[in-house]
Structure 1
Amino acid sequence: MQLTHFTDLGIRVLMYLTHSRPEPIKISEIVEQFQVPRNHLIKVVNKLAKLEWVLTTRGRNGGLQLAIAPTSLTLGTIIRQLEGCSQLIDCEKAKCKLSVGCQVKSFLDNGLKAFYEEMNRYTLADTVKGQTGNNIIKMHMSYA
């Protein structure tokens, strides 16, 4: 299993916003800091705003701010919402001839459940502790 670029970028944006400055952070800053296409970032930010994790303000003085406490958002929740993955395989959709009595789907479902449970042990705040948080602060300082 590999996370999509969309989810990866969503996590990085949330991490970057945990150490925000008094003024909102511009899309152009995140594009430059992470070297990502602007259009792709806008799609990610729109999803984060729709989930009510990020506040967006339009206009000259607009930008992005975290709308939720970093301690209240778990990594499992972030990944589940951005990936939209509730199962790894769909035996019905694939019309698999092995589905009767096959245990593979059950094993994969159990593994995915365990993955999300493990990721829910960590919050957004946990992802920016230590050196990672220091690196984000340096990124903010280098852009200001």
Structure 2
Amino acid sequence: MQLTHFTDLGLRVLIYLTYPDRDEPVTISEIAEQFAVSRNHLVKVVHFLAQQNWIVTTRGKGGGMVLAQAAHTYRLGQIIRQLEGHTELIDCSKPACSLKGNCQLKAILDKAQQAFYDALDIYTLKDAIASPTHEAIIQLHQLHLHSSAQKRPH
């Protein structure tokens, strides 16, 4: 099983937003630059995260995004379920399978997928940013702040 690129980016955005010591909101352009990803694709991801009320976004000068809640309230299994769109591991109807109704494979895979999400629900976003991830996030933010300060006219 492999998570989609959409899910990967969604998790990266949420992790990046856990850094609490920011005076201004984080922008899509900043995250795109920090993770070397497409800004256009990131716009779709951020829009979805905002629709789920996981982040709060503001438009215009000084706008950006922040986490809507504390990191410990986000369950990883729930986040990944939503980002993945509740996909099944196999679809016995496309193409139609001759064994449909007489095969245990789908039930076994569905059970395994549920166990996967149940295992992830034990963990929160706060768990995902434990050391050394937390320190790496700090470094990314400091790198951005340093880079932004150099770009400003003196």
- Per the normalisation by structure 2, the TM-score is 0.90
1:27 alignment counterpart: 28
What root-mean-square deviation, in Å, do the aligned CA atoms of Structure 1 and Structure 2 show? 1.0
Secondary structure (helix, strand or coil) at the match of 1:94 reads coil
- Aligned: 1:36 with 2:37: yes
Q: Does 1:8 align with 2:8?
A: yes
Q: Hey, what does 1:140 align to over in structure 2?
A: 141
Structure 1 equivalent of residue 107 of structure 2: 106
Query: How far apart, CA to CA, are the structure 1 residues paired with 2:107 and 2:141?
Result: 45
Q: Determine helix, strand or coil for the equivalent of 1:56.
A: strand
- Please tell me whether Structure 1 or Structure 2 has the larger radius of gyration of its CA atoms: 2
| Equivalent runs, 1:41-120 vs 2, <5 Å | 41-120=42-121
Deviation, 1:28, is: 1.2
Task: State the match for 2:150 in structure 1.
Answer: none
Amino acid across the alignment from 1:85: H
The runs of 4+ residues in structure 1 deviating greater than 6 Å are none
* Aligned length, in residue pairs: 144
Give the letter for the 1:9 counterpart: L
> Could you give the per-residue CA deviations for residues 9-34 of structure 1, whole angstroms, max 9, x where no partner exists?
10010000011412101111101100
- Offset, 1:47: 0.3
Distance 2:135 2:9 in 1: 19
For residues 36-75 of structure 1, the C-alpha deviation after alignment (integer angstroms, 9 at most, x for no partner) is: 0110000000000000001110001100101122111111
Counterpart in 2 of 1:129? 130
- Cα distance in 2 for partners of 1:51, 1:31 equals 21
Measured after TM superposition, the shift of residue 99 of structure 1 is 1.3
Identity of aligned residues (%): 54
* CA-CA distance at 1:86 after TM superposition: 4.3
Task: Give 2:17's aligned residue.
Answer: 17
Q: Distance in 1 between matches of 2:140 and 2:46?
A: 19
